[in-house]
Amino acid sequence: MSRGAPSRRLSTGVREDAVARGADETEYTLSVLVENKPGVLSRVAGLFTRRNFNIDSLAVGETENPEYSRMTIVVEGNDKTVEQVKKQLNKVIPVIKVSDLTDDDSVDRELAMYKVSCDPETRGEIMQIAESFRANVVDMGAEAVVVEVTGDTEKVEAMEDMLRGFGIKETVRTGRISLARGEKTTDETGN
């Protein structure tokens, strides 16, 4: 056979297969449509544990059709491992569709609430920061305020950085939720 070096060999001559795991890990966003039945979350979460895949976040809720739920899963990996994640997810019987929104144009949001220490002097400053992030102060006490912010990960983290100086007493964050932009539904996009 007259062919060039098979593509799966790296320039070092080592098979690509062997070095794939653990190499060049980045974040991937998967949107997983599942049957809305008991035990499905456990099947999906258990799969990640069993296959040694890393979940960064997982958010789940009912869809426009109450028979289905949609999970947005942020997973750490590379193209090869995430390909396996998708294939293994597809093998879970109640999983109906796995869409990869990583490279697609999608809207990503998460919600965070911060309980921030304050005193009469800093309260105004905190409220100003909240306002500039279009965040809401949802509870106010003499020594602490609770700020709620919605946005993509960068925005949420930027606000957290700003609030850190005042002393964050407690944080709670949802996982990321994502939808494809445009007219197509999430299940018609991705791969």
Partner 1 sequence: MSKTREDGETTEEKEAPTTRRGAEALVEGLKQEGVDTMFGITGGAVMPVYDALYDDEDIDHIMMGHEQGAAHAAEAYHSVTGRPGVCLATSGPGATNLITGLADADMDSRSIIAVTGQVPTEMIGNDAFQETDMRGVSMPVTKHNYLVKDEDEVPDTVQEAFYVSNTGRPGPVVVDMPKDVSKNDTDAVRGELNIEGYSPNYEGHPRQVKKAAEAIEGADKPLIFAGGGAIMADAADEVRELANENRIPVTTSLQGLGGFPEDNDLSLGMLGMHGTGYANRAVTDCDLLIGIGVRFDDRATGKIESFAPSAEVIHVDIDPAEISKNIHADIPIVGDAKRVVGDINDEMASHASPDTEDWLDTLNDWREKYPMEYEQEDGELKPQYVIEELDDRTPDDTIVCTGVGQHQMWAAQWYEYNEPRTWISSGGLGTMGCGLPMTIGAKLAAPDKEVVCIDGDGSFLMTVQELATAVREELDFTLVIINNYYMGMVRQWQELFSDERYAESELPHLPEFDKIAEAFGAKGWRLTESENVGEVLEEALEYDGPSVIDAVIDPNENVFPMVPAGSGNDEFIMGKGTQGSRIS
DSSP-derived 3-state class of residue 164: helix
Nearest approach in angstroms of CB 133 to partner 1 is 40
Give yes or no for residue 4 binding partner 1 (CB under 8 A).
Answer: no
Tokens 């895949």 -> residue: 53
Residues in contact with partner 1, shown as a per-residue x/- string from 81 to 100 under the rule CB under 8 A: --xx--xx-xxxxxxxx---
- In 120-185, where do the E strands start and end? 136-140, 144-151, 168-173, 177-180
The percent of the chain in helix, strand and coil, each rounded to the nearest 5, is 30, 40, 35
**Stretch of residues binding partner 1 (CB under 8 A), selected from 57-65, 76-84, 118-126, 182-190:** 76-84
- Given 50, 64, 142, 154, the residue binding partner 1 (CB under 8 A): 50
Member of 23, 24, 46, 164 binding partner 1 (CB under 8 A): 46
HSE on the CB side for 178, CA within 13 Å? 29
Under the criterion CB under 8 A, does residue 66 sit at the interface with partner 1?
no
Determine which residue in the list 16, 24, 62, 143 makes contact with partner 1, applying CB under 8 A.
16
